[in-house]
Amino acid sequence: MTSILGELEIIEKDFAERLSGVAASDELQQVKVAFLGKKGSLTSFLKKLGSLPAEERPAAGEAINSLRDSMEQRLASRKTQIEEAESAEEERKNRLDVTLPPRGRIWGGIHPVAQLTQDVVEILAGLGFSVALGPEIEDDFHNFEALNIPASHPARDMQDTFYFPDGKLLRTHTSPVQVRSMLRFGAPIRIVCPGKVYRRDSDPTHSPMFHQLEGLLVEKDISVADMKGCLEALMQALFGRSLKARYRASYFPFTEPSLELDIECVECSGKNPSCRICKGTGWLEVAGLGMVHPTVLRYGGIDPQVYNGFAWGVGLDRLAMLKYRLTDLRVLFEGNVPYLLSGRAL
């Protein structure tokens, strides 16, 4: 028994010396394995218990367990000391001086469509127009019937319009806002209606969800000349220079007469036969417009014998592509920030 205790004292002394030289967590783990691991000094010593006389085994086992408990406690205490020291060193290396001035951050850019919408609204506000908004989930009356679109019109086809089971639909244009505004405010009225619209279409120049802005002016003695002057002033202010304009006869159920507005190509002004934007024609289609149909005025609660007016619609996404020289409509909805900001004056 005396020899066993002497050997345990040697193991304890060796353990204390090695523990005192430990300065890192990995070194501490090595000491633990060397003494308490499966092949450690103290673990191997337990195998000697079987060779001792039966009367000496309890005392020897007690001495070994006591030393093991002591080692584990000292290892745990040393582990805490090392972790605290390592944490303090890490804080020292990565010290943050909260008294330093902030580095600041780069400001983001406004999305092209949002910026263009803001520009158009500001231009038209200078002409006396105010903004009117309406729901994106519409009913048949405001989206079609009140706009003089009969039940047989192709725009009602399921291939063009997103319908809900209850008969409601996602608005296909912002014109329903015009009807709602006329019913609410009467005449005279000058409003612009920006917002999202939805149609079953998707390719490089079309999206199932896109942005549209429609304008409505209803007063007494309004002529086509007033309408042309308003639209040309808008386009010239938007693109920052005088642009030639031409009008082509068209058809819209809610206007009569109906026209389409083309402006000279903002890229080449018709001087480049291989222009990628106008395809060499020199003209760009930008708006549909016309004098408000008397039937629409009646649905809006306005007497067409007293008032008349004009309305127009423009695709804000298309105008953004022209103004900021973007080549693919779909990128406006994909969050590609470098592409969206390329070529734009921030």
The set of residues, in sequence order, having a beta carbon less than 8 Å from that of 307 and lying 6+ positions away, is 187, 188, 218, 219, 220, 297
pTM greater than the 0.75 cutoff = no
Mean per-residue pLDDT for 304-316? 94
Q: Determine the pLDDT at residue 182.
A: 95
The set of residues, in sequence order, having a beta carbon less than 8 Å from that of 264 and lying 6+ positions away, is 243, 244, 245, 270, 282, 283, 284
Cβ(270)–Cβ(282) under 8 Å?
Answer: yes
Q: Vertex 287, ends 120 and 199: CA angle to 5°?
A: 95
Cis before 257? omega within 30: yes
Tokens standing for residue 253: 């159920």
How far apart, in whole angstroms, are the C-alpha atoms of residue 271 and residue 265?
A: 9
Mean per-residue pLDDT for 246-272? 89
Q: Which residue has the tokens 């319908």?
A: 163
Single-letter amino acid, residue 145: E
pLDDT band, residue 34 (cuts 50/70/90): confident
How far apart, in whole angstroms, are the C-alpha atoms of residue 313 and residue 161?
A: 18
How far apart, in whole angstroms, are the C-alpha atoms of residue 300 and residue 209?
A: 27
Mean per-residue pLDDT for 156-173? 83
Which H or E run contains 139? none
pLDDT band, residue 343 (cuts 50/70/90): very low
336 or 79, greater pLDDT: 79
SS3 percent helix, strand, coil of the chain, rounded to 5, is 45, 20, 35
How far apart, in whole angstroms, are the C-alpha atoms of residue 211 and residue 317?
A: 6
CATH for 112-341, options being 3.20.20.80, 3.40.50.1820, 3.30.930.10, 3.30.565.10 = 3.30.930.10
Q: Does residue 345 carry a pLDDT above 50?
A: no
Tell me the domain boundaries of the chain.
2-93, 112-341
Q: What is the CA radius of gyration of the chain?
A: 41
How many other C-beta atoms are found inside a 10 Å radius of the C-beta of residue 119?
Answer: 17
Pairing verdict, β 189-198 and 209-219: antiparallel
pLDDT digits (tens, 9 = 90+) for 203-223: 655 678 889 999 999 999 999
SS3 of 176-195: the string is HHHHHHHHHHCCCEEEEEEE
Q: Determine the pLDDT at residue 346.
A: 36
Which H or E run contains 230? helix 224-239
How far apart, in whole angstroms, are the C-alpha atoms of residue 245 and residue 236?
A: 10
Q: Determine the pLDDT at residue 234.
A: 93
Q: Which residue has the tokens 């014109």?
A: 175
SS3 137: strand
SS3 of 208-223: the string is CEEEEEEEEEEECCCC
Single-letter amino acid, residue 34: A
Mean per-residue pLDDT for 1-29? 78
Give the rounded percent of residues in the chain with a pLDDT score beyond 90.
39
The set of residues, in sequence order, having a beta carbon less than 8 Å from that of 306 and lying 6+ positions away, is 187, 220
From residue 165, how far is each of 168, 169, 172, 199, 200 by CA, in Å?
A: 7, 9, 17, 17, 17
How far apart, in whole angstroms, are the C-alpha atoms of residue 249 and residue 259?
A: 5
